[in-house]
Amino acid sequence: MKPIKTLATLAALLATATAFAQEPVVAAADPEALFTDADPVLHANKQTVLHIMRELLQCNHWDEADKYLTVRYLQHNPNVRSGRANVLAYFGPPPRTPTCGKLTMPVVTVLTSGNIVGVVFRAEYDDPRKPGTKYTSITYDQWRIVDGKADEHWDTALLDPPRK
């Protein structure tokens, strides 16, 4: 009888193990602090990406896109064609926020390699195994910086549903 009780206990523990299998992803308290570097070139590249994220993506100041994106801006997002004009058409014109303070996106870390700047974001999703609950994971964007502007972009975006 004892082996059956032990097996039943082990089976119950294994069945609930997936519920406790993940550490939650936590965003930085001050995401802007992650966009600095002792190396002046890497610092400048990180600052370009910070401006893209804050001024363009968060605050909708797309009229300033020429400060941060090259004309040819190569896009590897399946929803947006390459070229700054196409990016502007995709995102705009949303309402411009009157003020643009601190970056509020849930940034986990910022990575650099040469002229590439990568940003890891906290993401929250509905748990398909437990309706009504959430779990955390990450999404990722990266930009290639050329002469102080983003010239190429990659991200983890999936195709948008068809527009009605």
**Higher-scoring residue by pLDDT: 127, 16:** 127
What's the pLDDT at 30? 97
CATH 3.30.2000.10 given to domain 24-155: no
pLDDT of residue 95: 83
pTM: 0.84
Rg (CA), the chain: 21
What integer pLDDT is reported at residue 98 of this predicted model?
76
Q: What is the pLDDT of residue 6?
A: 47
| Cβ neighbours for 123, distance < 8 A, ≥ 6 positions apart | 25, 106, 136, 137, 138, 139
Measure the CA–CA gap between 15 and 9, rounded to whole angstroms.
10
pLDDT value, residue 3:
52
15/72: higher pLDDT:
72
| Banded pLDDT at 4 (limits 50, 70, 90) | low
Match 């999404």 to its residue by tokens. 139
56 phi and psi angles, rounded to 5 deg: -85, -60
Q: Residue 69's beta-bridge partner residues?
A: 150
Name the average pLDDT for the chain.
89
Q: What pLDDT, on the 0 to 100 scale, is given for residue 138?
A: 97
Domain residue spans in the chain? 24-155
Summarised one tens digit per residue, pLDDT across range 123-155 is 999 999 999 999 999 999 999 999 999 999 999
Which pLDDT value is given to residue 21?
A: 61
Q: Determine which of 6-15, 49-58, 70-79, 140-149 has the lowest per-residue pLDDT on average.
A: 6-15
Give me the pLDDT at residue 96, please.
Answer: 83
**133 vs 164: which has the higher pLDDT:** 133
The pLDDT tens digits of the residues spanning 84-131 come to 999 999 987 778 887 788 999 999 999 999 999 999 999 999 999 999
